[in-house]
Amino acid sequence: METTRELYWNIGHGATVLLPMYLFTFAALGFLIRSCLQRLSIYRQGKPLNRTDQRTVRIGELAKNVLLQSRVLLVNGPGYAHGLFFWSFVLLFIGTCFVAGQADFTDLLFGYRFLNGEFYKYFSMVLDLAGLVALAMLLGLLVRRYLVRPAGLETTFDDAIMHGLLCSIIITGFVIEGARMAVTELPNNMGLAFWSPVGLLFAKALVGTGEHTLRALHQILWWLHFFLVIGFICSIPFTKFRHIFTTAANYFFVDLGPKGALVSLDMEGDAESFGAAQLKDLTWKDIFDTDACTKCKRCQDRCPAYHTEKPLSPMKVINQLGEVACANPEASLIETVGKDALWSCTTCRACQEICPASIEQVNKIVDMRRNLVLMEGDFPGSEVMTAMSNTEVNGNPFGMAFATRGDWAEGLPVTRLADDAGVDILYFVGCYASFDKRNIKVATSFIKLCESAGIKVGILGKEEKCCGEPMRKMGNEYLYQTMAAENIETIKSYGIKKIVTACPHCFNTLSKDYRDLGLEVETEHYTTFLDRLMKESRLKIKADSFDCTYHDSCYIGRYNDIYREPRALLAAAGGTVREMDRCESESFCCGAGGGRIMAEEKLGSRISESRAKMAAATGSDLLVSNCPFCLTMFEDGIKGAELEGTLVPRDIAEILLERVAT
Amino acid sequence: MLVISCIKQVPDTTQVKIDPVTNTLIRDGIPFIINPYDAHALEESLRLKDRYGMRSVAISMGPPNTVATLRKAYAIGVDEAILLSDRCFGGADTLATSRVLSAAIERLNKVEMVGIVFCGKQTIDGDTAQVGPGIASRLGFSQLTLVDRIESIDLQRKTIKVRRKLEGRHEIVEAPLPVMITVVRELNRPRYPTVPMRVDSEEKEIKVWDNTVLKLDVESVGLKGSPTWVSKIFSPERDQGEIIGDGISDPVGTANLLIDKLLSKDLLAV
């Protein structure tokens, strides 16, 4: 007996079947394409942006994230459920194409059949199992959404339609298979039936039903199955099913970096407006992003502002922008999203790092902030405006005399470039290490570490200005560019070859943002710099064992993917790191990013206290970080969380200095 | 109707140190800022502009580099900025300064009625609080000092009602226009310049009125017209303080000790 099955069994293969079938299929596909094209006009409301360069890289991103589901799998449970469902669904789709390909093309036109023999057996088995896995994953996600109901997961009618369609498509598929097998394979070809194990189960359940009934059931369900699929195709543009196309396309349109660099505004051109007030001020990609969102809430789950009861959810922001794009393009974006939500962002990038759809949340928030600051002179509080004004006058947010910026280094082995520019590195100190007592200790430690490694360090002293990062993230592109231009001119005038910073914010700004404004000097954060000195045996650290937990700052971690070097330094110093639940790329912001270091935290609970509690939960009494902002926040957060005496915040440099081998 | 703000460019005195040898202010490397109280005067003039459609004019007496501060006044929205600058105005005390400012205000008044003149309650470099009242007496304007709120302005009756912030109490006062008002910080929050306004301010003309314009008797202005002059500047010797209590082992007890101490010296009102 031939190892195959009769395609279109019980349905017939004449014009009365093929004609309506293909008519409906092409009509549905046409409808899908037309609806998608209509959506293009929504994206076209945005400003131009080139996201079609470096096509090989982009196609690689697309392939990796669609076929391998790389970003989706960043989260275990539902991520794997989606991945398995996706791969199964792709197999079922390919299987269906094979069937149609043979029955309606190769066999019909050339008399060529390939669904037979050994191949058919595996084909049958693979599809059966794919159907089973798809159904299992779907049911798992259904239970999660409707019974477990994870906090923050928004369930709408969309989800009911999607789950309903997919489940019924798969279940009808199995019943059809069962009915066919009950009539054909069960009585005559049990050997083949075992290659369709799930179909076999359905077939056995149908045993005892008369053939006439089975055939009627089969025919009805076959057409039902068909129309469910047509319904699925037609529903794609109007439900979150659209993510099949939009999310996939978003992988192609991904920001290829440098990671986290903002677009520099042309402050001297004849632009009449700055930042995003209305939809037309966003780019087409910003609008497209809103269509790629599947409301999976991964961003919201990781948002430090959302976690501490502030009125910000990155997911909600994206959805609100999406609603404006579709329904009310003239609306004020800032009123729609709300100022408090916009000001709450710490630009920690946790949302973007985890987003399975490669959506860019942070730049949209900064764009709206830019409008508030540059066009309205608006800030989250008068203390922020004071910090801005201070920076304008004295080049630091504290309003400390600019001429005293280098005073901290008095008596230390460090030269001012104005006196002697022949140095190994320029240490770009930053405002906190220059003026804040606690952070001066860190800067001092760094200088002494360099001394022990024989590195000649220079600083700009009173010629250094704030790098402008907090101001920029707060939306004050004007002030940022003013500071940046002055710093760049000074640094260039000394012909510096290498810059090291101890502040991740300075580091990210000098190494990425200043590129746009003409600074090309190699810039490094002290963790990677010291790690290399240690490997080269220039910096000798004597291990003296201790226990600690380590906080990955956002701008060293997520923004620059530096996770290994700081831990290597701690290990060399004898440290055993007890990791917090949220570490490395999942690290939880200290609350100071996005210019929030200048602002009072008036809404919700304190982010720094949340993080201090997470650190204390590891059982360690030492919280190590690599950032002056983090250190400042933790000094306060530990007090606020009443962990004084239980937990001490320190910087890696301080720990290393205590263990320098002489 | 004009609303005028008198502003002064001052060194950021939080940073000013006194040279112990020469007993003069060390101004090297000290940035100039708008006198902080004057920033509130300027802001209030802009609020009246927004609310009543008055024309806002900022005037400042000082050396030519004062244009930087007047430029900032343009950047936040004044309609006109005028610099009163002449070598003969230099070295002025409060009397001579108020003569120059009054002359400028009178000149403006000839073209359009001056309704309100705002001044900061004092400058942070001179701390005299005399220039505002000096202007009021020279011009015969009503004089309202230490104002922390404009209650109302009746343009028909030409009156203004304000709240004065005094030690431990407020006072509501009404006066006829024109009026000279000195303001305290609580009056308002100065605005931050928007970028379009900053860009526009670069184009704006800052008029310079020297003494050929104001035509004042050179004996009445500048150093010559000043009955007072600074003979010496010095940092006062400070007595060594005392350390009381132990804040680390007994924070509550130490805080109580401190409160008692402050009360005993009459530095704290209950």
Contacts of B187 in chain A (CB under 8 A): none
* Interface residue A388 vs chain B (CB under 8 A): yes
* pLDDT tens-place string over residues A561-607: 999 999 999 999 999 999 999 999 999 999 999 999 999 999 999 99
* pLDDT tens-place string over residues B26-83: 777 788 999 999 999 999 999 999 999 999 999 999 999 999 999 999 999 999 999 9
Mean pLDDT of A331-351: 98
Nearest Cα residue in chain B from A265: B195
What's the pLDDT score for residue B245?
83
* Interface residue B27 vs chain A (CB under 8 A): no
Contact (CB, 8 A) for A297 and A155: no
pLDDT averaged over every residue in chain A? 96
What's the pLDDT score for residue A552?
98
The angle subtended at Cα A115 by Cα A110 and Cα A121, nearest 5°, is 165
The rounded percent of chain A whose pLDDT value lies above 70 is 100
Contacts of A272 in chain B (CB under 8 A): 196
Nearest Cα residue in chain A from B68: A393
Q: Tell me the nearest-neighbour CA distance from A659 into chain B, angstroms.
A: 29
Mean pLDDT of A410-416: 96
CB contact under 8 A, B192 and A388: yes
* Interface residue B29 vs chain A (CB under 8 A): yes
For helices A362-370 and A314-327, what crossing angle results, to 10°?
Answer: 70
Contacts of B33 in chain A (CB under 8 A): 393
Contact residues, A window 301-340, toward B, CB-based 8 Å cutoff: none
CB contact under 8 A, B196 and A375: yes
Sheet containing A415-416, strands listed edge to edge, beginning at the edge strand earlier in sequence: A415-416, A457-459, A425-428, A498-501, A522-525
* pLDDT tens-place string over residues A101-113: 999 999 989 999 9
Contacts of A403 in chain B (CB under 8 A): 15, 28-30
What's the pLDDT score for residue A605?
97
List Cβ neighbours of A370 (8 Å cut-off, separation of 6 or more).
A265, A274, A275, A276, A475, A476, A477
pLDDT band at B270 (very low <50, low <70, confident <90, very high): low
What's the pLDDT score for residue A1?
59
* Interface residue B198 vs chain A (CB under 8 A): yes
DSSP string, A562-630: --HHHHHHHHHTTEEE---SS-GGG----S-TTTGGGS---SSS-HHHHHHHHHHTTT-SEEEES-HHH
* Interface residue B249 vs chain A (CB under 8 A): no
* pLDDT tens-place string over residues A266-312: 988 778 899 999 999 999 999 999 999 999 999 999 999 999 999 99
Contact residues, B window 123-152, toward A, CB-based 8 Å cutoff: none
- ipTM for the assembly: 0.87
Q: Tell me the nearest-neighbour CA distance from A487 into chain B, angstroms.
A: 17
Q: Tell me the nearest-neighbour CA distance from A385 into chain B, angstroms.
A: 7
Go through the domains of chain A in sequence order and give each one's CATH number. 50-252 (1.20.950), 279-376 (1.10.1060.10), 382-534 (3.40.50.1860), 541-657 (3.40.50.10700)
Mean pLDDT of B125-144: 95
Mean pLDDT of A336-355: 98
Q: Tell me the nearest-neighbour CA distance from B73 into chain A, angstroms.
A: 14
* Interface residue A384 vs chain B (CB under 8 A): no
Q: Which of B50, B192, B197, B200 to mutate to test the interface with A (most CBs of A within 10 A)?
A: B192
Report how many Cβ contacts below 8 Å link chain A to chain B: 44
Contact (CB, 8 A) for A599 and A343: yes
* Interface residue A639 vs chain B (CB under 8 A): no
CB contact under 8 A, A376 and B194: yes
Which of A134, A53, A41, A51 minimizes the C-alpha distance to A95? A134
pTM of this prediction?
0.93
* CA A28 to chain CA centroid, nearest Å: 34
Of residues B30, B189, B196, nearest to A272 (C-beta): B196
Of residues B31, B191, B195, nearest to A394 (C-beta): B31
Q: Tell me the nearest-neighbour CA distance from B37 into chain A, angstroms.
A: 14
* CA B43 to chain CA centroid, nearest Å: 12
Instruction: Read off the tokens for A51.
Output: 């996201």
What's the pLDDT score for residue A268?
83
Residue A498 main-chain phi, psi, to 5 deg: -150, 135
Sheet containing B142-154, strands listed edge to edge, beginning at the edge strand earlier in sequence: B169-176, B159-166, B142-154, B179-183, B114-120, B2-6, B55-61, B80-84, B206-209
Residue A620 main-chain phi, psi, to 5 deg: -85, 155
